[in-house]
Amino acid sequence: MSLLATRDLTVRFGGHVAVDAVTCSFEPGTLTAIVGPNGAGKTTYFNLISGQLRASAGSVTLGGRDLSRLPASERTRAGLGRAFQLTNLFPRLSVLENVRLAVQASREGRHRRGLNLWSVWSDHGALRARADEVLAAVALRDKEEELVANLPHGDQRKLEVALLMALEPQVFMFDEPTAGMNAAEAPVILDLIRRLKQDRSKTILLVEHKMDVVRELADRIIVLHNGALVADGKPAEVIALPIVQEAYLGVAAKEAA
């Protein structure tokens, strides 16, 4: 069964249709790259799936459940994971504290229960262990005591990914995860996505401008253009399309007009 699906998903801003009746489904065990020219609607499509934006029409379903009317927080609880915007986090808390809160939120979401001091106490070690694991995965353990507000940009982006991992979602949504990272930082994140791919139960969506990254990681590529889904297929076939060549490699293409 396909895990995540959008059907005729549409959003209009005034007269402008930013996402235009996109019908597409995403299977577990597959990394789908979403590509297209600037302004094509990629981030807006993500916003509609994650619930940051309410659709004008169409639906979003996860495992057959209709999420279309749910706010972003409920969709996260249902299993849709998107990298946090750090502005929504706790800049005056340390890196470790932020990750520990995310681990805790995800575990409480799964096993809701009343206040039980014994379990709070015995969970403490498990939470710490999981937080350490997540921080190690993004190479941030040596910065765990730093205040988030003081982190350089590349480390903040790593922390976004760490928090996403801590939630253990079924669907991972990455929107240009290495943007603004230096040459040493980007491979840490790409390696982590590579490892996530090995877990065949996870569905991964990646908006990415760097074609070398797309070529290496994607099992499938979909192309958005003027908000509409215009291509969907295996990476080699899709990359060869004139519209992709035009958008990413600067090759003139009549089809892009």
Ligand X SMILES: Nc1ncnc2c1ncn2[C@@H]1O[C@H](COP(=O)(O)OP(=O)(O)OP(=O)(O)O)[C@@H](O)[C@H]1O
Q: How far is the CB of 79 from ligand X (least distance, A)?
A: 23
Check residue 13 for interaction with ligand X (CB under 6 A): yes
Contact between 256 and 37 under an 8 Å Cβ cutoff? The reply is yes
Cα gap 60→51, rounded to integer Å:
9
Check residue 180 for interaction with ligand X (CB under 6 A): no
* Contacts (Cβ under 8 Å, ≥6 apart) of 92: 147, 148, 149
Instruction: Please name the residue ranges forming H helices in 149-206.
Output: 153-167, 186-198
Q: How far is the CB of 44 from ligand X (least distance, A)?
A: 3
Check residue 43 for interaction with ligand X (CB under 6 A): yes
Mark the segment that binds ligand X (CB under 6 A) among 37-45, 87-95, 121-129, 230-238. 37-45
Q: What is the CA radius of gyration of the chain?
A: 19
CB closer to ligand X out of 43 and 170: 43
Answer for which of 32, 44, 178, 203 binds ligand X (CB under 6 A) is: 44
CB closer to ligand X out of 26 and 45: 45
Check residue 36 for interaction with ligand X (CB under 6 A): yes
Mark the segment that binds ligand X (CB under 6 A) among 31-39, 89-97, 123-131, 233-241. 31-39
Side by side, which strands form the sheet with 80-82?
A: 80-82, 171-175, 203-207, 31-35, 220-225, 228-233
Answer for which of 33, 42, 58, 134 binds ligand X (CB under 6 A) is: 42
Check residue 48 for interaction with ligand X (CB under 6 A): no
Answer for which of 24, 31, 40, 138 binds ligand X (CB under 6 A) is: 40
Instruction: Please name the residue ranges forming H helices in the chain.
Output: 42-50, 72-78, 95-110, 117-137, 153-167, 186-198, 211-217, 235-239, 242-244
CB closer to ligand X out of 18 and 55: 18
Element (H, E) at 33: strand 31-35
CB closer to ligand X out of 149 and 251: 251
Check residue 202 for interaction with ligand X (CB under 6 A): no
Check residue 18 for interaction with ligand X (CB under 6 A): yes
Indicate the pairing of strand 57-62 with strand 16-26. Answer: unpaired
Answer for which of 6, 9, 41, 223 binds ligand X (CB under 6 A) is: 41
Contact between 237 and 220 under an 8 Å Cβ cutoff? The reply is no
Check residue 85 for interaction with ligand X (CB under 6 A): no
Cα gap 156→84, rounded to integer Å:
10
Check residue 90 for interaction with ligand X (CB under 6 A): no
Residues that bind ligand X (CB under 6 A): 13, 18, 36, 38-44
